Amino acid sequence: MELAKNLNASVNKSFGKTDLLVDLAQSISGVILIGFLWMHMLFVATIVVSPELFDALSEGLDKYYLAQFGIPATILVIIIHIFLAGRRAPLRLRDLRITYRMASLMKHYDTWVWVGQVITALGVGIMASMHLWTILTHWPLRAATSAARVASNGPADITWGSFTFPYYVVFYVIFLIFGEYHGGFGLYRILVKWGWWERHTMGWVLKGITVIIVVLGLTALYTFTKIAANPALGGAIH
Amino acid sequence: MGRQITISCFRFNPNIPGDKPRMQDYKLEEYEGMTLFIALNDIREKLDPTLVFDFVCRAAICGSCAMLINGRPRLACKTMTRNLPSHFTVMPLPVFKLIGDLSVDTGKWFRDLQMRTEAWIHTTKKFDFNALEVRMDNKIAEEIYEPERCVECGCCVACCITANIRDDFMGATGINRVCRFIIDPRDERADAEYFEVVGDEGGTFGCVGLMACDDMCPMELPLQENLAFVRRKMAGAGLKLTFPGIKL
């Protein structure tokens, strides 16, 4: 009996290392993504120094196929991370209710932070897809194209008397804050689970880094709108 | 004349047919050095003899009087009423089976945990009644003493979202318990054997790291440290990796 033989082989097997591997993979994918995010923001922030530096870096990434390889790889890691970390999220109504009730009852900081992580995860998932779509359909990424994209339908179009809602600026501000919140606290949680460090001190260090990255991102965003508005700075496209 | 305090108590006795869960207010006068344990006894003596709650030692040793005080799990005997607002709530711990009002059955839960983690020294050595007890290094004894201080009150289980959602999660107290035996040199279990006990989602890899246990443990056990230690240890055992020179 083939079936009996198969069953015999599977029922005697210990549950094994699946839970360990899945948990480890979740943490590793998280670390990779936060590493990517911080690097990404540092690269974007080169625009603050000069559009030439931004272009040189961007061209370098294209030339050595780092972008062509990196973007699909990142998408893959994001998808893996959604599946791995998603299994922790309270998605059933019953679990949501328990989470909300306990968090409200206890008023416990870290528990609420985690609820925020679940919410920002949803936001980041949606906005990352939108972001990928807009950058991939406006390839290549250069100071001028990025500035035009950021400022389109926004600051560059504003004339007194006719206000245009700055969709892209608002989008990027929310995306930046959501992404950094989710990633920053995600790394905190990974280190709490695996690390040797006292979590309150570590939390403040990570909050510091997160604030720096958010400020860098906002400065970059501001610089892009300036470039778009001023053809002399390389914003001629708009 | 002390402060007037109002305690909103959860009332429900599943053994009384037709009883419905409700919150009931008790007003009493606070006096110097009053703990919630004293306040609840006052209520039972003077206001309402039907109020059900647990206590034994009144000194944070037995872990019986754990309850949600203003939403947070704490020991009633270790909570001074003067540190609480003049109107506060007390509720039974979630996760555990309700016996009545503020009393829950942590005993069965911890008995199951005891069996599941095989929380006793596993040794092949035969016990010799006449021999002197083998001496233990003081440093190791102190290391074991830290997780050993757990009073099994259940606060870490009650405040853990994972334990609230999933019945099979052993909570910080369970992982902490295993930590105690991993450190103990008298327990001859190999890491691979501990892996069979805690190396799954019901044990160390089920922890999401919300650290409510670490913040709310009435005994202030170093739970973050112990949980991370077990996680690293079990990851090493599962992957069959050893890290010579690195203290996991």
- Tell which of B104, B125, B153 closes a domain: B104
pLDDT for position A238: 39
Contact of B227 with chain A, judged by CB distance below 8 Å, is answered with yes
**A113 CB-near residues (< 8 Å, 6+ apart):** A185
Cis peptide before A140 (omega within 30 of 0): yes
Does some domain include residue A118? Answer: yes
Q: CA-CA distance, A129 to A140, in Å (whole number)?
A: 18
Q: How many domains does chain A have?
A: 1
Asked if A108's CB is within 8 angstroms of B210's CB, the reply is yes
Q: Which residue of B has its CA nearest to A103?
A: B161
Of A145-149, A232-236, B114-118, B196-200, least confident by mean pLDDT is A232-236
Asked if A189's CB is within 8 angstroms of B212's CB, the reply is no
For chain B, list the strands marked E by DSSP. Answer: 4-11, 22-29, 66-69, 72-75, 87-91, 97-100, 103-105
pLDDT for position A227: 87
Same domain, yes or no: B36 and B143: no
CATH of the domain at A93: 1.20.1300.10
Closest by CA position to A186, among listed A22, A21, A37: A37
Asked if B211's CB is within 8 angstroms of A110's CB, the reply is yes
Q: Is pLDDT larger for residue B94 or for residue A149?
A: B94
Q: Which residue of A has its CA nearest to B248?
A: A196
pLDDT for position A231: 65
Same domain, yes or no: B69 and B143: no
Does some domain include residue B110? Answer: no
A170: containing domain? 21-233
Contact of B216 with chain A, judged by CB distance below 8 Å, is answered with yes
Does some domain include residue A1? Answer: no
Asked if A19's CB is within 8 angstroms of B208's CB, the reply is no
- Tell which of B63, B79, B104 closes a domain: B104
pLDDT for position A164: 66
* Average model confidence (pLDDT) across chain B: 93
The ipTM estimated for the assembled molecules is 0.91
* pLDDT level of residue B243 (50, 70, 90 thresholds): confident
pLDDT for position B242: 76
CB nearest to A20's CB, from B205, B210, B228: B205
Q: CA-CA distance, A58 to A63, in Å (whole number)?
A: 9
Same domain, yes or no: B26 and B71: yes
Q: Is pLDDT larger for residue B233 or for residue A14?
A: B233
Residue appearing with tokens 């939390």: A203
Asked if B209's CB is within 8 angstroms of A189's CB, the reply is yes
Same domain, yes or no: B37 and B92: yes
Of A14-18, A136-140, B5-9, B20-24, least confident by mean pLDDT is A14-18
Asked if B201's CB is within 8 angstroms of A192's CB, the reply is no
pLDDT for position A236: 46
Q: How many domains does chain B have?
A: 2
B76: containing domain? 4-104
Residue appearing with tokens 């609820």: A115
- Model confidence pLDDT, tens digit, residues B160-176: 999 999 999 999 999 99
Asked if A20's CB is within 8 angstroms of B234's CB, the reply is yes
According to DSSP, the residues that pair with B72 across neighbouring strands are: B69
How close A117 gets to chain B, by Cα (Å)?
11
Chain B residues touching A90 at Cβ < 8 A: 161, 165
The torsion region of residue A60 among left (phi > 0), alpha (psi -120 to 50) and beta comes to alpha
Same domain, yes or no: B128 and B82: no
Contact of B71 with chain A, judged by CB distance below 8 Å, is answered with yes
pLDDT for position B3: 92
Q: What is the pLDDT along chain A (238 residues), one digit of tens a residue?
A: 677 777 777 665 666 889 999 999 999 999 999 999 999 999 999 999 999 999 999 999 999 998 899 999 999 999 999 999 999 999 999 999 999 999 999 999 999 999 999 999 999 999 999 999 989 888 888 888 888 888 776 555 555 455 667 788 899 999 999 999 999 999 999 999 999 999 999 999 999 999 999 999 999 999 998 888 776 665 544 3
pLDDT for position A237: 45
Does some domain include residue A61? Answer: yes
CB nearest to B228's CB, from A23, A109, A193: A193
Q: Is pLDDT larger for residue B44 or for residue A161?
A: B44
* pLDDT level of residue B2 (50, 70, 90 thresholds): confident
Does some domain include residue B47? Answer: yes
* pLDDT level of residue B244 (50, 70, 90 thresholds): confident
- Tell which of B49, B70, B104 closes a domain: B104
- H helices of B68-211, in order, are 106-116, 138-148, 155-158, 161-165, 171-183, 191-198
Portion of chain B with pLDDT greater than 70, in percent: 98
Same domain, yes or no: B186 and B84: no
